[in-house]
Amino acid sequence: MLNTASLSLDQAPPISIPFRFFLTAPLFAIAAGLELLIFGSEMLISRWSPFTLGLTHLITLGVLSMVMCGAMLQMLPVIAGSPVPHVVLVGRLTHGLLLMGTILLKISFVTGSKPATLLALTTLGVGFLIFIVAVGIALWRVVTPGATIQGMKMAVIALAATVVLGILVAVGYSGIGNLAHLTSLTNIHLSWGILGWAGLLILSVSFQLVPMFQVTPEFPFWVKRHLPYSIFICLSAWLLLRLGFDQSSWIDSAATPVLTLAVSGYLLFSMKTLQLQSKRKRRVPDVTLLFWRLGMIVLGLCVLLWVGGEFYSQIGDTQYFSLLLGIGLIQGVTLSIINGMLYKIVPFLCWFHLQSRQMAFMCMTVKVPHMKEFVTDKSAKRQFYLHLLALVSTVAAAVAPELFVHPAALLFIASNSMLLANLVLAVSRFRTTFKLLAPSA
């Protein structure tokens, strides 16, 4: 368990670094909602349409990766005692390049411009390369890595694979290069992005964050030791099988059972997390718990939907199967969990930095707000219900877009606007108190 008494700001980056990432993410989500509102059902015709691909990457790059990169830069010194080298420069470059690259990639999807595609791929590739190298150095410096650090290492490897696959897919679809089997490459890229990069990072940090912030029992030792490795090995084996496109049928048929094992690992994770949350030691209502429970429940449903689609053509061949699965995994699972993490990480960082500053200057006349004062439960709970309604509406829009796409867009915009407002208010309260804790006070 994390001991806050032993933490030091000497190794942590300035709090402005993660704030850059965390405040940018809701802006991209709002932009995605506005696009869905303007173009309506055209965005949900097919997962392969340029509009749908652009919308998906606004969320996966602009929201999910933005938050996860910012969180890793801040939390690595805390949970691993290993600072990211040149973290201020790395943070600024990574944030700026991801910001520009995501916008350029969106433009390239809509216009089909090859120069825009090349510029987007270069910007995103350099941004992720800087992040992967810097974070990789910090992770591999850890002398005695536990389950969380080992899981983070595999998540970073998965991110590297996702970026390389994404570049190959973009080069092929844009006509810059001539690549075969683009559909298979796209599915591999998506799977490694969701199950590898996002999934393994959420899985590994949950070993620390769920017991610490939700006051649950610890995850069983066998889960922490074996589950991340098992999922990573299965994803790697599946990748090797799927990359042999012109192979014998028996090798190709082995790919689905191998991926099923990886997916089953996430079903086990969702069930075990829900079980631990039911045994939490403090029964006080917690908004973060609502987001995590929603994410875990939807994760289980997505696993069942995927298994049904793989083994029963009546399910997998429906026109909205892929959209439902994508909505469930991205909006239902990862966005839910990231919302819940933000409502704990941001107040914790604000409180911890202010406490450290207060002790450094011995300024005891200024009251440091406690964590619940940075973002109140009432405002966070309102945003949770908007998020839930937006999720339900988006699922309905995948089946009946003409009826539900505009309500889904409006609710998604409202949810992320409230998330942004809550985070901005927390940052504002932090800065006000920070100024009061001056050396002369």
- The model's pLDDT over 314-324, given as tens digits with 9 standing for 90+, comes to 887 888 888 89
Percent helix, strand, coil in the chain (nearest 5)?
80, 0, 20
Token readout for 97 is 């390049």
Q: Residues 299-326: what's their mean pLDDT?
A: 88
Can you give the pLDDT at residue 440?
A: 55
Query: Is the predicted pLDDT of residue 199 greater than 70, yes or no?
Result: yes
Taking each helix axis from N to C terminus, what angle separates 50-59 and 16-39, rounded to the nearest 10 degrees?
150
pTM: 0.91
φ, ψ at 380 (rounded to 5°):
-65, -40
Query: Is the predicted pLDDT of residue 194 greater than 70, yes or no?
Result: yes
At 142-177, the pLDDT tens digits run 877 889 999 999 999 999 999 999 999 998 887 787
Domain ranges in the chain? 11-143, 307-436
Query: Is the predicted pLDDT of residue 25 greater than 80, yes or no?
Result: yes
Taking each helix axis from N to C terminus, what angle separates 221-243 and 182-191, rounded to the nearest 10 degrees?
170
Contact (Cβ atoms closer than 8 angstroms) between residue 20 and residue 95: yes
Contact (Cβ atoms closer than 8 angstroms) between residue 419 and residue 25: no
Can you give the pLDDT at residue 247?
A: 54
Residue 215 CB neighbours (<10 A): 16
Residue 45 CB neighbours (<10 A): 13
Q: Which residue has the higher pLDDT, 356 or 140?
A: 140
Token readout for 285 is 């209502």
| Whole-Å CA distances, 178 to 115, 175, 265 | 16, 7, 36
| CA–CA distance, 286 with 210 (Å, rounded to integer) | 12
Can you give the pLDDT at residue 153?
A: 94
| CA–CA distance, 159 with 399 (Å, rounded to integer) | 31
Q: How does the average pLDDT of the chain come out, rounded?
A: 88
Can you give the pLDDT at residue 5?
A: 36
At 57-98, the pLDDT tens digits run 999 999 999 999 999 998 888 777 788 999 999 999 999 999
Contact (Cβ atoms closer than 8 angstroms) between residue 123 and residue 101: yes
φ, ψ at 16 (rounded to 5°):
-65, -25
- Distance between alpha carbon 191 and the CA centroid of its chain, in Å? 14
Token readout for 143 is 């002398």
At 230-287, the pLDDT tens digits run 999 999 999 888 876 555 555 567 788 899 999 999 999 999 999 999 888 766 668 8
At 88-141, the pLDDT tens digits run 999 999 999 999 999 999 999 888 888 999 999 999 999 999 999 999 999 998
**Cα dihedral value 77, 78, 80, 82, nearest 10:** 10
Give buried/exposed letters for 160-192 (b at 16+ CB in 10 A, else e). Answer: bbbbebbbbbbbbbbeeeeeeeeeebbebbbbb
Can you give the pLDDT at residue 7?
A: 44
Token readout for 39 is 């173009």
Query: pLDDT confidence of 1, banded at 50, 70, 90?
Result: very low
